[in-house]
Structure 1
Amino acid sequence: MDNENKSTPNEEDLLTGTIQLLAGKVKADPSPDELEKLKKLIKKNVPFTLRGYFMAYLLREILQANNPRRASGRETAKPARVKRESKAPAKAEQQAQAPAQEKAREEKALPEGARTLYLNIGKMKRLYAKELSQLLQTELEITRDDIFSIRIHDKYSFISMSEEHCEKAIAKLNGMDIKGRTAAVSYSNKE
């Protein structure tokens, strides 16, 4: 009986084979630059101690998405392997492209004549993009469409608007108390 068990692949053997197949495809991937960008995003957003679990979670989600019956344990081992080999890389590629597409949306070029402002207040003072947008609209008497982008970091923020609105913002917001801190607004060095 032991010989029969060894010759028939079990679930762990199939997963091992799938992981090895995917690892081989990673080495032979035609667009390593895209993988490098995704790797950097993971490194930036997933703590080091969770990366192994993160990869395991992604693999589990991909396998379950490609094979809903797998989650309930009703499918035999061999067909599951065929499905995973054919669909898992495509699904992984789609999931990998989603963060890259979001990043590309964030980095859109600003319209002609737009400038970026630096504000010395950020997330640590509980400043959120929606609040900052409403403040700008109220103080500068502009609409939401006049604000091209707002990026809030831990200790500071960046606001992109037309140069005319930037001048108004510098004049009105400098010295204003925002979230218990005196605002300092100037043109950003990084544009």
Structure 2
Amino acid sequence: MENDNKSTPNEEDILVGKIQVLAGKTKADPNPDELEQLKKLIKKNVPFTLRSYFMAYLLREMLGANTPKSKTPAPKRAPQAKKATKPTPAAPKAKEEAGAAKQTTERALPEGARTLYLNIGKMKRLYAKELSQLLQTELGVTREEIFSIRIHDKYSFISMSEENCEKAIATLNGMDIKGRTAAVSYSNKE
């Protein structure tokens, strides 16, 4: 009878096999950039201490009825993982767009684009929409000519064509923005 038990996979063995298949698919995924974006969203929206629970929750949801029910009670933190972002097929793109509307307006940078550093950020209550409007007003550029705006706590990054960057440096340096004197220069990290 011991031979029968060894040849018949139990529920845990089946689950381990499914996890290994998913891990293999992850390595061979044809869209690594999309996975990278999703990874960044998870990193940004799921606290570090909940990420493993979050992954377990997603796996359970994905496998649905095929997952064996645990005989031990779930840890107390597991319900919090449910409250964390639970992406549906359309949710990652929607969250990404919502995040972009809040603090970042990012697109793939075209050739010849440069990135500027601005010494003002969220702590001075500077938001991407306000900065975009300021750039449009002061530089006479359109919204489409601003490739990306990334607002951090104490500083911001703006990506535009080199010509518009030169105008921004000349115009915005020394300007009072949100009660602080602006210092604009080319970013070291592009």
Would the TM-score normalized by the shorter structure come out above 0.5?
Answer: yes
3-state SS of paired residue (2:25): coil
SS in 1 for 2:148: strand
Shift in alpha-carbon separation, 1:125–1:30, aligned structure 2, 3 A:
closer
User: Is residue 18–residue 81 contact of structure 1 (8 Å, CA) maintained in 2?
Assistant: no
Larger fraction in helix: 1
Give distance in 1, aligned partners of 2:126 and 2:115.
18
- Equivalent pairs, count: 151
Alpha-carbon offset, residue 56 of structure 1: 3.6
Q: Could you tell me how far apart the structure 2 residues matched to 1:38 and 1:142 are?
A: 29
Q: Residue 28 of structure 1 aligns to a residue in which SS?
A: helix
Cα distance change of structure 1 residues 157 and 49 upon mapping to structure 2, 3 Å threshold: same
- Closer, same or farther in 2 for the Cα pair 1:57/1:133, shift >3 Å? same
**What's 2:66 paired with?**
81
Amino acid at match of 2:117: Y
Task: Measure, in 1, the Cα distance between the counterparts of 2:125 and 2:15.
Answer: 42
Aligned residue in 2 for 1:116 = 115
> 1:139 Cα deviation (Å)?
1.0
Pairing of 1:7-46 with structure 2 (within 5 A): 19-29=15-25, 31=27, 34=32, 37=36, 41=40, 42-43=42-43, 45-46=45-46
TM-score, normalised to structure 1's length? Answer: 0.60
Structure 2 segments unaligned to the other structure (5+ residues): 1-9, 68-86, 98-104
Give identity over the alignment, percent.
66
Q: Extract unaligned runs of 5+ from structure 1.
A: 1-12, 65-79, 83-91
The one-letter code matched in structure 1 to 2:146 is I
Partner of 2:188: 189
The question of 1:177 aligning with 2:176 is answered: yes
Distance 1:163 1:24, change over 3 A: closer
Q: Partner amino acid for 2:127?
A: Y
**Distance 1:30-1:188 versus aligned 2 partners, 3 A rule:** closer
- Could you report, residue by residue, the CA deviation over 1:89-120 in whole angstroms, capped at 9, with x for unpaired residues? xxx9x68x969x98xx95623233x2221101
Q: Which residue number in structure 2 is paired with residue 48 of structure 1?
A: 48
AA matched with 1:20: V
Matched residue of 1:52: which SS?
Answer: helix
1:162 aligns to what? 161
* CA distance in structure 2 between the partners assigned to 1:163 and 1:39 by the alignment: 30
Q: CA RMSD of the aligned region, Å?
A: 4.0
State the structure with more CA Rg.
1
Residues of 2 paired with 1:179 and 1:145: CA distance? Answer: 24
Match of 1:143 in 2: 142
Report what 1:7 is aligned to: none
Asked if the contact 1:129/1:150 (under 8 Å) is kept, the reply is: yes
Give CA-to-partner distance per residue, 1:6-51, whole Å, 9 cap, x none: xxxxxxx97x577434322144336268498479634565322111
Deviations 1:149-181 (A, max 9, x none): 112122211111222221221111111121222
Q: SS at 1:127's partner residue?
A: coil
After TM superposition, the structure 1 stretch with the greater mean CA deviation from structure 2, 133-142 or 47-56, is 47-56
Q: TM-score, normalised by structure 2?
A: 0.60
